[in-house]
C-alpha cells in the first residue's frame, strides 16, 4: 500500500539529518558506480519502454530514449550534485538572548517530498540524487511511458543506498500508477511538499487537488521589452536567443513589447531576423501598421506557445510595458533592453517576476546557468522558493536554544532582561 510506504518515509525522515555528508556523498558514489556497471540492463529495460511506446508524440519518444552516452551524462549530473557544498547544518543566525542562553538557526531537510514528473527517465536519477544530498525522503512518480526504465533505475538507486546506509535505503520510494497520484495528494499529514515537474495541466491538476503545499510553475509567459533607449542590434540578438534558442521551454519569451518611439526602426528588423528562424509573428494593431504579419488577439497575451510563435505589442512607454507584464505575465522571467539606467531601475523594482533582466536573454533563467549545480525545478510561487530552485529550496531550518535552566517567568517579572546580541 502506498500510504504505508509514505508513513514509513515520514517516520524515518526525522533521522536523515543525522546522516553525515560523507555518508550521503558515498551513497551518491555508489549510485554513480552501479549505474555505469548496469548500462546493458538499463538499456534493455529502456528498450521495452521504447517498444511499448506507440501513441506518444515524437518529442516525448525522443526524451524517453537512453543511450550509453546519455547514461554517462546522467552520472555526470550526480557527480555535480555530489560536488555541491552541504545544504544541511548551515548556520543562518546565532543570537545570545541573554547571557548563557543562545539561539541558533540552521538548515535542515524539509522532510517528505512528493515529486511527479513526466516521461524523462533522467529526471528520476537527478531528483533522487538531490534528495540524498539534502537528506529528504522522496516519493517519486514518473511517467507511465518510462515504467520499465524507471523501475530499473530505481532498483539500482535503492540497492546503492542500501549498500551504504540502511536508513538512506528507506528514504526513497517509487509510485507507479495514476491512482497512486490521487492517493498521494490526500496524504497531507505525511507529505510536506509536492513538486510537479511537467506541463501546465499536470501542475494545475495537482494544485487543485491537494492541501499539501505545491512548488512549481504552471506557466512560463516571459517578455522582452525593447525600450526606446535600447540598442537595436542588442535587442534583435536577445529577441532571437530568448525566442529561438530553445522555444519549447518555460524561459523562452512569448511576447515582445516594443516602445512606440522605436517601433518603426526595430520591428522590420525583427521580422527579417525571426522569419528567417521560422517564427510565426502575431502583432497588435499598432504593430501591423509597421510590419505585415498576422494579427494577435487578446488571448495571445496570455498564451504560452512553447513553439516558434511570438506575439508583438507596441506600447506607449515603460509604464504600459510593466503593466502588461504584471497583468499578463506569469512572474517567471522578463527582460528590458535599454541603456537608460532610470528605466532599468524602475523595471527592476516594479516588474513582479522571479527573474528580472537587463540586456540578457531570458533563457539564462535556469538552475545550472545560475550555478546551482542542479535544478529541482522553477517556481513561480511567492513563498519559500522563487525562480530556479536548487538544493537550498529543499531545505528549511530549525531553531536550537541552549540554556541552563532558564525560565520565562524571570523575564516576565522583570528579574532579567534579554540582551539580544547577535553572535553571527
Q: Site residues for a second copy, window 332-391 (CB under 8 A)? A: 346, 348-361, 363-365, 369-371, 381-384, 386-388
- Sites for a second copy among residues 243-262 (CB under 8 A): 245-246
Distance CA 230, CA 156 (A): 53
The residue among 79 and 211 lying less far from a second copy, judged by its C-beta, is 211
Residue 122 Cβ vs a second copy, minimum distance, rounded to whole Å? 18
Q: Which is nearer to a second copy, 1 or 409 (CB)?
A: 409
Instruction: Determine, following the binding rule CB under 8 A, whether residue 291 of this chain makes contact with a second copy.
Output: no
DSSP 247-267: TTSTTSEEEEEEEHHHHHHHH
Q: Which of 56, 84, 234, 309 binds a second copy (CB under 8 A)?
A: 234
Measured torsion, CA atoms of residues 78, 79, 83, 85, in degrees rounded to the nearest 10: 10
DSSP characters over 58-114? HHHHHHH---HHHHHHHHHHHHHHHTSPP-SS-EEEEEEEETTEEEEEEEEE--EEE
Residue 152: CB minimum distance to a second copy, A: 30
The nearer residue to a second copy, 1 or 383, going by C-beta atoms, is: 383
Question: Per residue, what are the HEC states of 147-173?
Answer: HHHHHHHHHHHHHHHHHHCHHHHCCEE
Restricted to residues 7-66, the positions that interact with a second copy (CB under 8 A) are 11, 13-15, 17-18
Contacts with a second copy, 100-129, as mask; x by CB under 8 A: -x-x------xx------------------
Q: At what angle do helices 21-37 and 39-52 cross, to 10 degrees?
A: 70
Query: In the window 199-228, what residues touch a second copy (CB under 8 A)?
Result: 207-208, 211, 213, 215
β-strand partners of 253 = 222
Query: Considering only residues 183-202, where is the footprint of a second copy by CB under 8 A?
Result: 192-193
Please report how close the Cβ of residue 368 comes to a second copy at its closest, in angstroms.
Answer: 8
- How far is residue 176's CA from residue 186's CA, in Å, rounded to a whole number? 16
Residue 409 binds to a second copy (criterion: CB under 8 A): yes
- The distance of closest approach from Cβ of residue 362 to a second copy in the complex, given in angstroms and rounded to an integer, is 9
**In whole angstroms, how close is the CB of 289 to a second copy at the nearest point?**
28
Question: Left, alpha or beta for 8 (phi > 0: left; psi -120 to 50: alpha)?
Answer: alpha
268 vs 63: CA distance, rounded Å: 37
Please, what is the minimum distance in Å from the beta carbon of residue 47 to a second copy? 29
Dihedral pair phi/psi, residue 118, rounded to 5°: -90, -160
Q: Cell triple for residue 95?
A: 543570537
Tell me whether residue 201 or residue 404 sits nearer to a second copy (CB atom). 404
Closest CB to a second copy among 80 and 303? 80
Residues 127-166 that bind a second copy (CB under 8 A): none
Rounded Cα distance, 312 and 288, in Å: 9
C-alpha cell at 413: 517579572
As given in the structure block, the three cell numbers for residue 23 are 555518508
CB 43 → a second copy: shortest distance, Å?
27
Count of chain residues binding a second copy (CB under 8 A): 77
The interface with a second copy within residues 58-97 (CB under 8 A) comprises 95, 97
Smallest distance, a second copy to C-beta of residue 409, A: 5
**Residues in the chain, overall count:** 424
Query: Distance from CA of residue 326 to its chain's centroid?
Result: 21
Phi-psi region of 339 (alpha: psi -120 to 50; beta: other; left: phi over 0): alpha
Q: Tell me how far, at minimum, the Cβ of 39 lies from a second copy, in Å.
A: 26
Kindly identify the residues of this chain, within the stretch 388-407, that bind a second copy according to CB under 8 A. Answer: 388, 396-407
* CB-nearer residue toward a second copy: 62 or 398: 398
Q: How far is the CB of 31 from a second copy (least distance, A)?
A: 24
Radius of gyration of the chain (CA): 25
Cβ proximity to a second copy: between 61 and 370 the closer is 370
- For a second copy, the closer of residues 119 and 136 by Cβ is 136
Q: Residue 79: which of 131, 43, 25, 34 has the closest Cα?
A: 25
CB nearer to a second copy: give 154 or 190. 190
Residue closer to a second copy (CB basis): 163 or 340:
340
Amino acid at each position: 500500500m502506498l500510504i504505508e510506504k509514505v508513513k514509513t518515509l515520514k517516520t524515518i525522515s526525522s533521522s536523515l539529518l543525522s546522516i553525515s555528508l560523507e555518508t550521503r556523498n558515498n551513497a551518491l558514489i555508489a549510485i554513480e558506480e552501479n549505474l555505469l556497471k548496469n548500462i546493458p540492463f538499463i538499456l534493455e529495460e529502456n528498450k521495452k519502454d521504447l517498444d511499448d511506446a506507440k501513441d506518444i508524440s515524437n518529442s516525448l519518444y525522443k526524451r524517453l530514449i537512453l543511450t550509453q552516452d546519455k547514461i554517462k551524462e546522467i552520472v555526470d549530473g550526480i557527480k555535480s550534485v555530489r560536488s555541491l557544498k552541504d545544504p544541511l547544518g548551515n548556520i543562518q543566525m546565532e543570537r545570545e538572548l541573554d547571557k548563557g542562553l543562545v539561539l541558533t538557526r540552521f538548515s535542515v531537510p524539509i522532510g517528505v517530498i512528493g515529486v511527479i514528473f513526466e516521461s524523462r527517465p533522467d529526471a528520476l536519477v537527478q531528483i533522487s540524487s538531490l534528495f540524498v544530498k539534502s537528506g529528504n525522503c522522496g516519493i517519486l512518480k514518473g511517467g507511465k511511458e518510462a515504467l520499465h526504465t524507471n523501475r530499473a533505475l530505481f532498483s539500482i538507486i535503492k540497492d546503492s543506498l542500501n549498500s551504504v546506509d540502511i536508513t538512506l535505503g528507506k528514504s526513497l520510494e517509487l509510485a507507479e500508477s495514476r491512482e497512486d497520484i490521487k492517493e498521494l495528494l490526500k496524504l497531507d499529514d505525511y507529505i510536506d511538499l509536492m513538486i510537479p515537474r511537467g506541463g501546465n495541466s499536470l501542475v494545475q491538476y495537482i494544485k487543485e487537488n491537494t492541501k499539501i503545499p505545491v512548488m512549481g510553475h504552471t506557466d512560463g509567459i516571459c517578455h522582452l521589452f525593447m525600450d526606446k533607449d535600447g540598442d537595436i542590434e542588442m535587442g534583435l540578438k536577445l529577441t532571437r536567443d530568448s525566442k529561438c534558442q530553445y522555444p519549447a521551454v518555460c524561459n523562452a519569451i512569448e511576447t515582445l513589447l516594443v516602445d512606440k518611439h522605436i517601433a518603426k526602426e526595430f520591428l522590420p528588423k525583427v521580422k527579417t531576423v525571426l522569419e528567417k528562424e521560422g517564427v510565426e509573428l502575431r502583432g497588435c494593431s499598432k504593430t501591423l501598421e509597421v510590419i505585415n504579419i498576422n494579427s494577435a488577439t487578446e488571448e495571445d497575451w496570455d498564451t504560452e506557445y512553447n513553439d516558434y510563435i511570438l506575439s508583438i505589442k507596441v506600447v506607449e512607454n515603460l509604464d504600459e510595458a510593466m503593466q502588461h507584464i504584471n497583468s499578463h505575465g506569469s512572474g517567471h522571467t522578463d527582460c528590458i533592453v535599454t541603456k537608460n539606467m532610470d528605466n532599468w531601475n524602475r523595471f527592476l523594482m516594479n516588474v513582479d517576476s522571479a527573474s528580472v533582466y537587463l540586456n540578457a536573454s531570458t533563457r539564462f533563467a535556469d538552475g545550472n546557468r545560475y550555478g546551482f549545480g542542479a535544478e529541482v525545478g522553477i517556481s513561480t510561487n511567492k513563498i519559500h522558493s522563487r525562480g530556479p530552485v536548487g538544493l537550498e529550496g529543499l531545505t528549511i531550518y530549525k531553531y536550537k536554544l541552549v540554556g541552563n535552566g532558564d525560565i520565562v517567568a524571570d523575564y516576565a517579572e522583570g528579574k532579567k532582561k534579554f540582551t539580544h546580541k547577535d553572535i553571527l
